[in-house]
Amino acid sequence: MAPDYTQGLSLQMNQRMEMVMTPQMIQSMEMLQLPLMALEQRIQQELLENPALELVDLEDDADSFDSSDAADNDSGTDSGSSADSESAGEKSPAVESDDFTSDDSPDYLADNGEESLSRIDEVDFEWDDYYDDSAPRRGFEDDEERFDLIENTAASEISLAQHLEEQLSFLELPEVTLACCNVLIYRLAHNGYLDAPLEEILAQNPDLDATADDMEEALLTVQELDPPGIGARDLRECLLLQLDRLGPEHTFTRMLVENYLEDVAANRLPKISRALSCTIDDVKLGINDLRTLNPNPGLQFAPSQVTAARADLIAEMNDNGEWDITLPSGSRPEISETFLALFDTTKHGKALREKLEQDADRSEEFKRLRELLRRGEEGRQLREKYQSARWLLTAIAQRERTLYRVAVEVVDVQSSYLSGQDDAPAPLMMQEVADRIGIDISTVCRAVHDKYMQTPLGLLPLRNLFTRAVGGSDNDGKKSSNVHIMNRIREMIEAEDKTKPLKDDQIQDMLKEQGIEIQRRTVAKYRDNLGYLSHSKRRTY
């Protein structure tokens, strides 16, 4: 009897809801999260890769929003996606034509038999074959622009190891010592310390024909190099290496480093004074001398982390006392006239086609591209480039709308702070903004990520205008933000009697008198965040 292979098998239908991210939604989310400088780099890359795009300079007021613009764009609500999907039928202001389909194509494409763009595979296409030297360039316009870019490029920074290696090249050292020195300088931490035992370093370099004594000799050589204190194995050795070069007049400071460094760090000045049979003023002079030393001599060669920031939004108060929110003026991408003439089925597209056909300099190019549309691969590639350009412009326009809507709500809540009336932002959570404008909180997070706003207070990270409410209400009946509380703590510490500094519980009681009730550990956390030491370490004698 043949086995029954169908036993236990069944066909079932299940209904479930799941979210499918389209390429357009993904692109929209990516654009929203990009800060202005990264967005411009992305646009420049698209300009180089997509001949359907060109860059144009817009007037300042063309980039501005007003309340009527916002109302027109607020017809849709977020459907739960992070892309801040507005109404499905809403079109980008930068896109002037309807979506291209085979049903409304120009007459010269009627017999093309084109496929849906979603079913077209990626095809490599050499655009240089169809664009001659007279076509618009999308890179540097001339050598002068290229040289300007080179001149404005930061010079490469020299590393700590390179700095030390250069000094070693001027020393006459035995070959084995030089080899050991080169190994050590590339094992130094970014602050200039040697954070591994010499025996371990020697064991990790089996090709190094050296002994432990050779490594000790090499370390002494490295510690003689500039900057002073380099190659130390701990803070005490780092400070002593620097004092060695300063001479005998710093003997008292050396004594503090050798025997009382922990007491200095804990501000136990009376204990040091009794141990050394000197006055507290003598100890304070020694500590002042100690502060002239560099505890991290290698940090001056660490790569700089300075990042340029530009305003994604501008908030200004007009003569009527109302806030104007604008986007910075500049260049924006748009679809080129040639591609609009090829695909735009409106009256505008028809006018462009007539214009190009009558233009002696551009008619040949337009005819060549129109001929390519009748071919399978080339025509498909042209349509992909056009649709990709439309998606890009739509994503950019949606990014600007979302940024504007978020900024309007933020400025409305933080008006007193931005105008200088309050010393700290009011409590504001991202969920509140998301609820107000009807989008998902993840969209707000992307909108404020690495974004900056030019305000009367200067260039501010948009993220800093969101603060958490902590404790009870202050005497004015308003909730206190964490920034407001930290400002109060800073004022109290700055005004305290330095001989009797305030304890954390005393600061807690003083805040309570102002209507701000928080835990003592919260006071300690905020004090640490502000960079203040504990009361015992802040005390002066």
The two tokens of residue 136 are: 């618009």
Mean pLDDT of the chain: 78
- pLDDT at 207 (0 to 100): 85
pLDDT at 399: 92
pLDDT given for residue 117 in this prediction: 33
Q: What is the mean pLDDT of residues 48-69?
A: 63
The arithmetic mean of pLDDT across residues 1-16, rounded, is: 64
Residue 126: name the closest of 390, 381, 383, 384 by CA: 381
Look at residue 232 in the predicted model and tell me its pLDDT: 93
Please give the model's pTM, rounded to 2 decimal places.
0.59
- Rounded to whole angstroms, how far apart are CA atoms 523 and 541? 25
Q: Picking from 143-152, 198-207, 445-454, 455-464, which range would have the lowest pLDDT averaged per residue?
A: 143-152
Rounded to an integer, what distance in angstroms lies between the CA atom of residue 329 and that of residue 341?
A: 27
Mean pLDDT value of segment 377-395: 89
Please say whether the beta carbons of 345 and 106 come within 8 A: yes
Predicted confidence band at 294 (pLDDT cuts at 50, 70, 90)? very high
Percent of the chain with pLDDT over 90: 27
Q: Assess whether pLDDT exceeds 60 at residue 188.
A: yes
Residues 126-159 pLDDT 10s: 333 333 333 333 333 444 444 444 444 444 568 8
% pLDDT > 70, the chain: 75
Residues of the chain with CATH 1.10.10.60: 469-538
Both tokens of 447, joined, read: 């909108």
Residue 227 preceded by cis peptide, ω within 30: yes
Is the pLDDT score of 108 beyond 90? no
Q: Residue 229: is its pLDDT beyond 90?
A: yes
CA distance linking residue 477 with residue 443, whole number of Å: 32
Q: Is the model more confident about 69 or about 376?
A: 376
CATH top-level class for 469-538? mainly alpha
- Give the confidence band of 89 by pLDDT, cuts at 50, 70, 90: very low
User: Which tops the pLDDT comparison, 64 or 362?
Assistant: 362
What is the average per-residue pLDDT within 430-443? 91
pLDDT band at residue 478 using 50, 70 and 90 as cut-offs: low
Digit-coded pLDDT (tens) for 330-348: 778 898 888 888 888 888 8
First to last CA, the chain: 102
Tokens of 537: 């370490």
What average pLDDT does the segment 169-179 reach?
A: 90
Instruction: State mean pLDDT over 490-515.
Output: 88
CA 462 – CA 481 distance, rounded (Å): 16
Does residue 235 register a pLDDT over 50?
Answer: yes
